[in-house]
Amino acid sequence: MTARSDEKHEGMLKPFVEHLDDLRKALVWAIVSLLIGLIVAIPLAPSIFALLKIPFDRAGLTIPLQVSEVGSGFSILMKVVWWSGLLFSLPFTLAAVGGFVFPGLTRRERNAIYGGGAASLGLFAIGVWMAYCWTVPVALQMMAQIESWMGTPSAFWETSGYAAFALKILLAFGLAFQIPLLVYILGALGIISSHQMRDKRRHVTIIMMVIAMFLTPPDPFSMILMAAPLIALYEVCIWLVRAKEKAARIP
């Protein structure tokens, strides 16, 4: 290999090596952020769990929460610390990902990511808020009524089981509310059109109901509380994509 070809090869290799180094730094920053988030969440765990118990109190049940096994308190601590630490570290993790990806993007692409990221966080917060205020209390009431109807009322509910139950619903709602954003992105990129979205409205409604059925407790009210806003947001996406199509046709 000649000296000139060696220089050319080195010029092609160096950016790739630097790219890998940037990726390594982003991963290290994300891991460090998560560890710091977990450490911060440890002393806050009792207060966070007190907030997590508010939907249980809103349900107005006579069934108490109790710990019945050795180590259940530690299990609850781990659940609360993990999810809280993950939430605390999320902004810094996203910043690390942005620092790795943004240098290779145009200004328009960066603005699109900023807008999409803000919309994603907003929809996630709305989904969690809906589950926190309505879905978890309603689901708890339904579970208690089913137990009473079956003649198997509970003397108490395991606290660790309630923590896992509530966190699962909150996360499920937050993630499910990302679906309309994904649909809008597909429409904005021209992969699907507003006409196709309207034409497949019935199919999408069924899909939304199926998703809600799998992500919520086994009662129809929780499923409706998730599916109804998803279907409404899908209609909003149709309107937004149609407006974007009209704007693109204007010379």
Measured CA to CA, the distance from residue 62 to residue 156 in angstroms comes to 9
Enter the DSSP assignment of 193. Answer: -
State the Cα–Cα distance between residues 14 and 223, nearest whole angstrom.
53
pLDDT by residue for the chain (251 residues), tens only, comes to 454 444 444 444 446 566 677 778 888 988 999 999 999 999 999 999 999 999 999 988 888 998 888 888 898 999 899 989 988 888 888 778 777 777 777 777 677 677 777 888 888 899 999 999 988 998 899 888 888 888 888 888 999 889 888 988 888 898 888 888 888 888 877 788 888 889 988 888 899 888 888 888 777 778 888 888 889 989 988 998 888 888 777 65
Strand partners, 157: 65
CA distances, 57 to each of 6, 50, 132, 142, 167 (Å): 71, 10, 12, 14, 16
pTM for this predicted structure: 0.78
Q: Which pLDDT score, from 0 to 100, does residue 17 have?
A: 65
Phi, psi of 170 (to 5 degrees): -60, -45
**3-class DSSP state of 67:** coil
Least Cα distance to 130 among 235, 212, 48 occurs for: 212
pLDDT at position 161 = 87
Residues 6 or more apart in contact with residue 240 via CB below 8 angstroms = 184, 187
Tokens found for residue 237: 């996406």
Q: Which residues of 78-94 are buried (b: 16+ CB within 10 A; e: fewer)?
A: ebbbebbbbebbbebbb
d(CA 15, CA 18): 5
Q: Where are the beta strands (DSSP E) in 54-130?
A: 65-66
Separation of alpha carbons 121 and 108, rounded Å: 20
Distance of CA 184 to the CA centre of its chain: 17
pLDDT given for residue 62 in this prediction = 86
**DSSP for 136-155?**
HHHHHHHHHHHHHHTT---S
The ranges assigned to domains in the chain are: 3-177
- DSSP at 63: P
